Structure 1
Amino acid sequence: MGLWRWRRRGPKAARRYPVPLTTHQLWMVSLSAPVSRDRGASRTTLYPFTRIDDDGARRWLAEQWEITSRAQLVGRLDELSRSGYRARAYRVTGVSPLAWDAALYVDIARRGFACGLIDEPDAWTALKNIVPAVVGTYASWQEYAAHYLLGRKVWREGLRGTADDGFPAPQATADAHLRALLDPENRSSPWNLAPWNTISHPDRIR
């Protein structure tokens, strides 16, 4: 018997959610692109994976965020929108990297939608709620990426000496992922599909 463990793959998420996103929707989903590094992650749909994996979303929220109910999800989103990790980062660096919290906020909302803690209209409402703060803070995906990396660095340093010290991917991995997202030649990057100023123009069907 081989060492590979067979796992049944779920159907493609596009079959359950076939309607393409509008340009504004894609822009909002793209706020979580720095977090979505896994091979099975989707960066261009509200559903966070390319294949249906509701149980995976549920496990992730429970194990990484201790979220198992709608109330806990809403509470965590509220906390990230108000202060999040950027409060500690400001004490350490003098800079408040909203991008780090915004990326986590959108990622959590999408996973909450995937496992049924919130429905699709509520998920879009949650994403819309973070837009004014993000647009008022940054003028480009480059600025957003720089603050995301700063927030991640402060977060990783805060894990030193804890049980989660070895959990995060190396900083070099995050750096490479951000470079790929910002690469103007990367046709699959959602940041190229939805440039920063997209959210400031009238919405349209892609």
Structure 2
Amino acid sequence: MARWRRPRASRRYPVPLTLHQLWMVSLSAPVGRGPKASRTTLHPLRRIDDDSARRWLADQWEIISRQELAGRLDWLARTGYRARAHGLLGVSPLAWDAALYVDISRRGFAAGLITEADAWTALKNIVPSVAGTYGSWQEYADHYLLGRKVWRDGLRSPGGGASEPGRPAPQAVADAHLRSLLDPANRASPWNLAPWDVIRHPDRPR
């Protein structure tokens, strides 16, 4: 019952995100599949749980300090897993790295490693490269799945599992989640609430 006593993220941060903010947060929507995930707040969880965020960063990414968080974000922004994909396929799926980058930034904020302002700055830093690479959420989703496949294959290769995020969900689960996010009839999908092109226009409240 203790988890139900934790405040909802939407109550701790009641001001709705602007369209640009929701778009940035939604870059990590493919990663946050579970029922505890929040897709419409900067905080990555529906209920405030700093300890859970800290454990997740430590277990999945070996991040326990602000410096380690900054190092991981810099790697994902500059090189990331797409370097491996480019070497294998001649394609650099930025979307996979961008989704992880935003997810880690949000969890770093939840864990208290960075401030809210720092988290938004980190998210804004990734926008030009992502918006300049893709023209739709469909294109973004396609490259996300490509990057995820290369990453999964790397985990199965000798030595490929070192310092990698934890055991992945089956590919079918990721595929179904992406289909749900892209479904025009899904009113809860953040990709429908913040269509791709909103980032190319002046920001406004939702």
What letter matches 2:40 in structure 1?
A: T
Moved over 3 A (4+): 161-166
Report deviation, 1:7: 4.9
Amino-acid identity (%): 75
Match of 1:27 in 2: 23
TM score, norm. by length of structure 2: 0.94
Q: 1:130 to 1:163 in 2, by over 3 A?
A: closer
Name stretches of at least 5 consecutive residues in structure 1 with no aligned partner. 1-5
Q: Deviations over 1:62-108 (max 9, x none)?
A: 01101000011011100100000000011111110000000000000
| Range with greater deviation from structure 2 (10-19 or 20-29) | 10-19
Q: Count residues with an aligned counterpart.
A: 201
Report deviation, 1:8: 3.0
Q: Distance in 2 between matches of 1:141 and 1:55?
A: 32
Q: Distance in 2 between matches of 1:7 and 1:50?
A: 14
What pairs with 1:147-162 in structure 2 (closer than 5 Å)? 147-160=143-156
Name stretches of at least 5 consecutive residues in structure 2 with no aligned partner. none
Q: Distance in 2 between matches of 1:172 and 1:7?
A: 33
Do residues 139 (structure 1) and 135 (structure 2) align? yes
Q: RMSD of the alignment, in Å?
A: 1.5
Q: Distance in 2 between matches of 1:38 and 1:56?
A: 14
Match of 2:3 in 1: 8
Match of 1:3 in 2: none
Q: Distance in 2 between matches of 1:194 and 1:133?
A: 18
Partner residue of 1:111 out of 86, 107, 113: 107
Q: Distance in 1 between matches of 2:160 and 2:69?
A: 24
